[in-house]
Amino acid sequence: MSAIRLTAPSRISSPAPRSLQAVSPSRSRGFKLGRIVLISFGVTQIVQLFLGLTISQSAYDLKALKIEKLELTTQAQIVGQQVDSLSSQQNLANSASELGMIANANPVFLRIEDQKVFGKPKAALNSAGRVSRNTVASAALVERSVLTGATSSALIGNVAQASGLGQPVAFSTETIPVSPTH
């Protein structure tokens, strides 16, 4: 938009020459101060704008982090449920039963202070002592151990070769199944 002249153009006769005057030092300082103020104001505004942008961006970063936190919380809960299931008594009992484990009905105690042994050790070969499958319900059981490697019959067969105390027991040469929970 072009500037509007608010005054009527005057027929200008050649103006009277004005004598040159030197600008006074105080007026010069005034201009300088004004420029400094203007520049400072401009810089402040730019800095404020920059800070505002940063803070706004941080707000979005915060939102993204919160979403990530929610995701991780969900994952932590999923893993937690798996750990609870695998470490539950129900899963352990089922796993022990599947592996053909036999409860030791004849524990022998060693008193360390005087190295005294209480009881007579006996191999736990009685299949009546076989660990029972779980009978205690749990709807929270979402995961079960997957047993691979040596089968239960192979384990029982090898242990049954032991003929009594003092004789070496022939253990299976197959690897013992690695616990899925490590």
Q: Which residues bind other proteins (CB under 8 A)?
A: 4, 6, 8, 55-56, 58-60, 62-63, 73-75, 77-78, 80-81, 84-85, 88-90, 93, 105-107, 109, 111, 118-119, 132, 134-142
- Residue 117: what are its φ and ψ, rounded to 5°? -105, 130
Least distance (Å) from other proteins to the CB of residue 172?
27
Pairwise CA distance, residues 142 & 84, whole Å: 9
Considering only CA atoms, give the Rg of the chain.
45
Residue 126 or 138: the one with the smaller Cβ distance to other proteins is 138
Give the shortest CB-17-to-other proteins separation in angstroms.
Answer: 30
Amino acid at position 55, single letter: I
Judged by phi (left if over 0) then psi (alpha if -120 to 50, else beta), residue 39 lies in: alpha
Comparing CB distances to other proteins, the nearer of 88 and 145 is 88
Shortest spacing between CB 152 and other proteins, in angstroms: 19
- The dihedrals phi and psi of 6, each to the nearest 5 degrees, come to -90, -10
What is the smallest separation between the CB atom of 164 and other proteins, expressed in angstroms? 19
Q: Would you say 85 or 158 has its CB closer to other proteins?
A: 85
Half-sphere exposure at residue 1, Cβ-oriented, CA atoms within 13 angstroms = 3
The 10 Å Cβ neighbour count of residue 86 is 18
Q: How far is the CB of 76 from other proteins (least distance, A)?
A: 9
| Minimum CB distance to other proteins, residue 177 (Å) | 22
Pick the closer one to other proteins by CB: 30 or 80. Answer: 80
CB of 51 or CB of 160, closer to other proteins: 51
Quote the CA–CA distance of 174 and 168 in Å, as a whole number: 17
Name the token pair of 15.
């103006």
Cα dist from 77 to 72, 137, 140, 144, whole Å: 8, 22, 13, 17
For residues 12 and 22, which CB has a smaller minimum distance to other proteins in the complex? Answer: 12
